[in-house]
């Protein structure tokens, strides 16, 4: 028996947006690993509730820090490096015992997913497969019914953590944008959109495809609070066809 690593995209949140392949793999995996903050159930794990083999071993991987320390801080880098080394060792132990390990990933595993850190460390040593998933951004623009890009449009995906001048420049330079990691960055994102002359076209979506979802033109949103699961969309497809 050879251990097998499978990165499983669990999609944007609605369990019905799991793929058939993800469902099949989750129903047979010996071990199901999932990332979460201490004391929380990660969103990916919540999405797959009811889809796991009843006797599957669960392997929660607990981030030691998330947003408490700035990410350019050496203490953050050290804590995260230790965390990924330990997570790799924990998964490797199951692989060495010949087990199939499914690692859950919100959205799509290789698109900003924590699974990537395990993949680069383990795929050279064991058979590894990645099951793509519906991204959070697809979930959000579908929920909003907002056509995003068409034909020869260009799309830029930007983390809201970028400096304001950088956000402004890139939003202005791209017909369509998706701004991720909104959260506490919302005031800066607003200013960048205004600076790029695109605030009026921006749409804010919170918890796309999940319960208690919110969709509103960003200009109509009166407060600056935004959860982690929120995005700003700037459609590129205007006045056409």
Nearer to its own copies by Cβ, of 65 and 156: the residue is 156
Residue 127 near its own copies by CB under 8 A: no
Nearer to its own copies by Cβ, of 161 and 213: the residue is 161
Distance of CA 25 to the CA centre of its chain: 20
Neighbours of 157 (CB within 10 A): 16
Residue 71 near its own copies by CB under 8 A: yes
Name the burial class of residue 54, with classes exposed (0-12), middle (13-18) and buried (19+) by CB atoms within 10 angstroms of its CB.
Answer: exposed
Neighbours of 67 (CB within 10 A): 13
Nearer to its own copies by Cβ, of 90 and 110: the residue is 110
| Separation between Cα atoms, residue 17 and residue 13, nearest integer Å | 7
Selected range binding its own copies among 30-38, 114-122, 189-197, 223-231, rule: CB under 8 A: 114-122
- Give residues with Cβ within 8 angstroms of 197, minimum separation 6: 172
Q: Which two tokens stand for residue 187?
A: 């005031």
Selected range binding its own copies among 29-37, 96-104, 152-160, 193-201, rule: CB under 8 A: 152-160
With residue 22 as reference, give the H or E element that holds it.
helix 20-26
From 150, 164, 172, 215, residue interacting with its own copies (rule: CB under 8 A): 150
Question: In this structure, what is the dihedral angle of CA atoms 9, 10, 11, 15, given to the nearest 10 degrees?
Answer: 160
Find the binding residues for its own copies in span 171-190 (CB under 8 A): 174
Nearer to its own copies by Cβ, of 42 and 139: the residue is 139
From 152, 211, 212, 220, residue interacting with its own copies (rule: CB under 8 A): 152
Q: Under the phi-then-psi rule, with left for phi > 0, alpha for psi from -120 to 50, and beta for the rest, what region is 112?
A: left
Residue 79 near its own copies by CB under 8 A: no
Residue 135 near its own copies by CB under 8 A: yes
Selected range binding its own copies among 9-17, 29-37, 90-98, 214-222, rule: CB under 8 A: 9-17
Residue 228 near its own copies by CB under 8 A: no
From 79, 149, 214, 219, residue interacting with its own copies (rule: CB under 8 A): 149
Find the binding residues for its own copies in span 190-209 (CB under 8 A): 209
- Across the chain, which distance is largest between two alpha carbons, in Å? 59
Residue 215 near its own copies by CB under 8 A: no
């Amino acid at each position: 028996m050879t251990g097998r690593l499978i990165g499983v995209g669990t999609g944007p949140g609605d369990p019905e947006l799991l793929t058939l392949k993800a469902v099949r793999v989750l129903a047979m995996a010996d071990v199901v690993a999932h990332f979460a903050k201490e004391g929380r159930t990660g969103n990916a794990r919540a999405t797959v509730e009811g889809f796991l083999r009843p006797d599957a071993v669960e392997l929660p991987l607990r981030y030691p820090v998330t947003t408490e320390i700035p990410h350019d801080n050496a203490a953050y880098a050290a804590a995260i490096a230790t965390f990924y080394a330990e997570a790799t060792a924990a998964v490797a132990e199951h692989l060495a015992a010949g087990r199939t390990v499914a690692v859950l990933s919100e959205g799509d595993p290789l698109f900003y997913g924590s699974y990537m850190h395990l993949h680069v460390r383990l795929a050279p040593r064991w058979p590894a497969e990645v099951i793509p998933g519906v991204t959070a951004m697809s979930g959000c623009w579908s929920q909003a019914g907002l056509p995003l890009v068409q034909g020869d449009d260009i799309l830029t995906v930007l983390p809201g953590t970028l400096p304001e001048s950088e956000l402004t420049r890139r939003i202005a330079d791209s017909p369509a944008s998706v701004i991720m990691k909104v959260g506490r960055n919302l005031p800066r994102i607003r200013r960048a959109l205004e600076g790029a002359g695109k605030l009026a076209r921006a749409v804010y979506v919170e918890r796309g495809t999940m319960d208690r979802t919110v969709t509103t033109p960003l200009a109509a949103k009166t407060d600056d609070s935004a959860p982690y699961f929120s995005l700003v969309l700037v459609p590129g497809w205007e006045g056409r066809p």
